[in-house]
Amino acid sequence: MSGIKNIKFEDYELKCDELTEGCKFCILGEKLVLFITGICNRQCYYCPLSENRKNRDVIYANERKISTINEAIEEAEICGSKGVGITGGNPILKIDRTCKYLKALKEHFGKDFHAHLYTTLEIEEKHLKKLKEAGLDEIRLHPRMENLKDNGINNDVNKKELELNKLVEKLKLCKQYIKKVGVEIPAIPTMDDEILLLVKKINEIPVDFINLNELEYSETNYEELLKRGFSEKNDYSSRINGSQETALNVINNAKKDLNNNLSLKSNVNLKMHYCPSTLKDSVQMKNRLINRAKNVAKEYEIITDEGLIIKGIVKYAEGELNQNTSNVKDRVEKNDFIQLLEYNELKSGIDYEVNLSKSEIYLNPILLEEIVDYLKETGFVPEKEFSAYISEYYPTVDKLEIQRTPLITKKPKLNLKNRKKNI
């Protein structure tokens, strides 16, 4: 085996072997993350699930809370997904639901729609039969890291042996049913030796890959990580100190040992991957947002390089555009701002949109800035007072607004109608 390769992937350089199909879709943001349940029978101290998901029987397709298969399909379509990663919680605790969603996605998008699933060593033959039948392409097992930790106590040796043996047994079982089989674990600092041992152990059986994820803190695991002596790598990310070093150390040493020790049985197909948390934050998430934004942005909106959407908003007092429903059309048509857009031949139905219930007009943010500049320069004043601002928001279902930049702060004083001809 050679040393760790630097894989240039879009704008990100990865230190690992060749990527699995599941990883490729993930990095390109083309993976639908299907969180099938928050229920889990383990209590890993490093579990990063948020309060609204942990141990709750909820379903999310990417960041969208859903309750039907159709919503999952819709989300995959909107995001241009080419595959699905089924996660939780523990998906096998809701095996029938998992298989129903998986089967429906495969039927809708075709057999090339790649599907992988994360689960624990509680997986049994009955689950695998159902998953195979539903079309699962790849499975990733997660052993109990606490059982692998060697604290120098006799009992630990037994626990470790048992857990490793169980892992090997379950991987072999998975291999009988699922095409690609791997292990996915957090790279826990101080566990270099234990993880290296695990790599050597699974290298003796036909397993396809091991993914080492950089350990991250979240609002729910922070206290537990702190208690165990872990600390943040810096104050601008959620990375844990030493995790990256552990992952790279394990991969390098495993490759060295396998190259040097010819007596060691070697599975030359075992791929080792390190997945840094920045990859999730800055590449996967960004690509997924961009893919979603491309499908949901209106023609007058702009998509940023980060996958956010920007639009211009003109806001009137509540009810201004619809307070008297009998003459809404009249009211809208006579609206100064809409007349201004019409005068500039922008009233084509795609260059702006009127939201009657909110008394808002949405349009291209650059155009709005130009109009506002024009109003300021000329002293040109619409009849009705309005505010104008640029809104930047996530292309998610809740359209979470992250920034609002006001363009007009004072009420203008001149009259639009008198100056309209001069536009």
**Using CB under 6 A as the criterion, which residues of the chain lie in contact with ligand SF4 when the complex forms?**
40, 42-44, 47, 49, 88-90, 120, 142
* CB-CB contact of 400 with 393 (8 Å): yes
Coil, helix or strand at residue 175? helix
Q: Which residue type sits at 341?
A: L
The C-alpha atoms of residue 202 and residue 164 are separated, in whole angstroms, by: 9
The smaller minimum CB distance to ligand SF4, of residues 142 and 170, is found at 142
Smallest gap, in angstroms, from Cβ of residue 41 to ligand SF4?
A: 8
Coil, helix or strand at residue 273? strand
Smallest gap, in angstroms, from Cβ of residue 120 to ligand SF4?
A: 5
Smallest gap, in angstroms, from Cβ of residue 35 to ligand SF4?
A: 10
Helix (H) or strand (E) holding 378: helix 365-378
The smaller minimum CB distance to ligand SF4, of residues 45 and 374, is found at 45
Smallest gap, in angstroms, from Cβ of residue 266 to ligand SF4?
A: 30
The smaller minimum CB distance to ligand SF4, of residues 28 and 34, is found at 34
The smaller minimum CB distance to ligand SF4, of residues 40 and 310, is found at 40
Task: Give the HSE-up count for residue 35: Cα atoms under 13 Å, Cβ half-sphere.
Answer: 22
Smallest gap, in angstroms, from Cβ of residue 57 to ligand SF4?
A: 13
Q: Is 382 exposed, middle or buried (0-12, 13-18, 19+ CB in 10 A)?
A: buried
Residue carrying structure tokens 């999310």: 60
Closest CA to 268 of 17, 16, 5, 15: 17
The smaller minimum CB distance to ligand SF4, of residues 61 and 123, is found at 123
* CB-CB contact of 117 with 141 (8 Å): no
Closest CA to 145 of 44, 12, 238, 28: 44
The smaller minimum CB distance to ligand SF4, of residues 120 and 339, is found at 120
